[in-house]
């Protein structure tokens, strides 16, 4: 085991896959000589050169389209969004091309493409830089969506995403890059379609993902001392949802709280809620509780920003209430 930061393990995953497979390349703004805004590609340009670590103009629609074309012709591009919010400028390419070309070409083309970068609410980044795009992309056919939450799962998931023959939207949270944990020195891969049971419990199920996993853990540490026994599930795969793991937990606990950083209206929790009601309504002893961000642009003011997203004390109150 080696203790590493999340940005280090993401770099490791890219480096290892580029060494193994010469078709893997990276496109993005300032990823080359500068090493990326969060240093995920630091020093890779010196190792692999301009053609495999390609600094692009500030033109998300253009370089995302270029990456999709490269994937169609046999490369395995990784697109880094300097901030995932900027990829709204490439929404047409992602939805009408990346997600659909395998189907609309009758299977003649596969799109082995990873689109990755920082998202979520940071610390006073302003509304335009605090977007949570996972809900925007969720309804696009043909995409896989993954949200890493720890250095360990970040590395294993990114390596699997790079090897996958489908387009994968890979969400990293801007406030988790400096999270540190032990990473195996041996190579490992993690499945892109499985949730992780973070804590086994029998009293209720808390479902979450990305940075909110850590807010939930803070709350659970207090709740366990009070005698509560929650089960915690980290979704990891946002599309497809690992509904089997979720339903198995609901059958056991009969109560559910969803904790997300997306807005409540049309969020990941809304889809999760619908699927739980469709598949496990008869096993519920109480209505499902959703804890989501407020339906407003994220304020720049630090205190107001904090009030718009779910905090550990809100999770504690919700568990006390539902139990």
**Domain-wise residue ranges, the chain:** 2-183, 196-322
Closest CA to 154 of 53, 32, 12: 12
Q: Which two tokens stand for residue 284?
A: 């519920």
Q: How many residues does the chain have?
A: 323
Q: Is-catalytic flag, 60?
A: yes
Instruction: Give the pTM.
Output: 0.95
Tokens representing residue 214 in the block: 């850590």
| pLDDT score for 261 | 96
Third-level CATH fold of 2-183: Rossmann fold (3.40.50)
Residue 286: predicted pLDDT: 96
Return the pLDDT at 181: 93
DSSP structure string for 220-263 = HHHHHHTT--EEEEE--EEES--HHHHHHHHHHH--EEEEEEEE
Cα distance between the two ends of the chain: 39
Q: Thinking of the domain 196-322, which architecture would CATH place it in?
A: 3-Layer(aba) Sandwich (3.40)
**Which one from 29, 60, 196, 231 is the annotated catalytic residue?**
60
Low-confidence ranges of the chain (pLDDT < 70): none
214 is catalytic: no
Per the DSSP assignment, residues forming a β-bridge with 172 are 118
Both tokens of 142, joined, read: 């043909």
Q: How confident is the model at residue 1, as a pLDDT? A: 85
Let me know: does 59 contact 86? Beta carbons within 8 Å: no
Which position among 17, 45, 129, 261 bears the catalytic label? 129
238-271 burial, b at 16+ Cβ within 10 Å, e below that, comes to bbebbbebbbebbeebbbbbbbbbbbbeebbbbb
Eight-state DSSP code of residue 83: S
pLDDT, one tens digit per residue, over 172-193 is 999 999 999 999 999 999 999 9
State the DSSP H helix or E strand holding residue 158, giving kind and residue range, or none if neither: helix 151-163
Rounded to whole angstroms, the Cα distance separating 17 from 234 reads 26
Residue 118: burial class (beta carbons within 10 Å; 0-12, 13-18, 19+): buried
Q: What is the DSSP letter of 87?
A: G
In angstroms, the CA 215 to CA 208 distance is 9
Look at residue 235 in the predicted model and tell me its pLDDT. Answer: 98
> Are 138 and 112 in contact, with CB atoms under 8 Å apart?
no
2-183 and 196-322 agree in CATH topology: yes
């Amino acid at each position: 085991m080696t203790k590493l930061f999340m940005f280090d393990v993401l770099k490791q995953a890219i480096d290892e896959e580029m060494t193994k497979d010469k078709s893997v390349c990276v496109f993005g703004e300032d990823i080359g000589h500068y090493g990326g805004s969060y240093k995920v590609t630091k020093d890779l340009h010196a190792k692999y050169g301009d053609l495999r670590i390609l600094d692009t103009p500030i033109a998300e629609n253009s370089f995302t389209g270029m990456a999709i074309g490269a994937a169609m012709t046999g490369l395995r591009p990784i697109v880094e969004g300097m901030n995932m919010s900027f990829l709204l400028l490439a929404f047409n390419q992602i939805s009408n091309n990346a997600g659909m070309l395998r189907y609309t070409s009758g299977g003649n083309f596969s799109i082995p493409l990873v689109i990755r970068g920082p998202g979520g609410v940071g610390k006073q980044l302003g509304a335009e830089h605090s977007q949570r795009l996972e809900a925007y992309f969720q309804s696009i056919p043909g995409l896989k969506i993954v949200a890493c939450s720890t250095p360990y799962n970040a590395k294993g998931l990114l390596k699997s995403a790079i090897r996958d023959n489908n387009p994968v939207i890979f969400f990293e949270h801007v406030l988790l890059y400096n999270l540190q944990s032990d990473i195996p020195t041996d190579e490992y891969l993690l499945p892109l379609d499985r949730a992780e049971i973070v804590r086994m419990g029998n009293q209720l199920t808390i479902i979450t993902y990305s940075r909110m996993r850590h807010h939930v853990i803070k709350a659970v540490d207090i709740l366990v001392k009070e005698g509560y026994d929650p089960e915690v599930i980290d979704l990891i795969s946002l599309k497809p949802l690992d509904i089997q793991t979720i339903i198995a937990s609901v059958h056991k606990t009969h109560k559910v709280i969803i904790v997300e950083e997306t807005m409540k209206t049309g969020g990941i929790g809304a889809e999760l809620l619908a699927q739980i009601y469709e598949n496990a309504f008869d096993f519920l002893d109480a209505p499902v509780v959703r804890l989501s961000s407020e339906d407003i642009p994220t304020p720049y003011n630090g205190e107001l920003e904090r009030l718009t997203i779910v905090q550990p004390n809100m999770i504690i109150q919700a568990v006390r209430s539902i139990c």
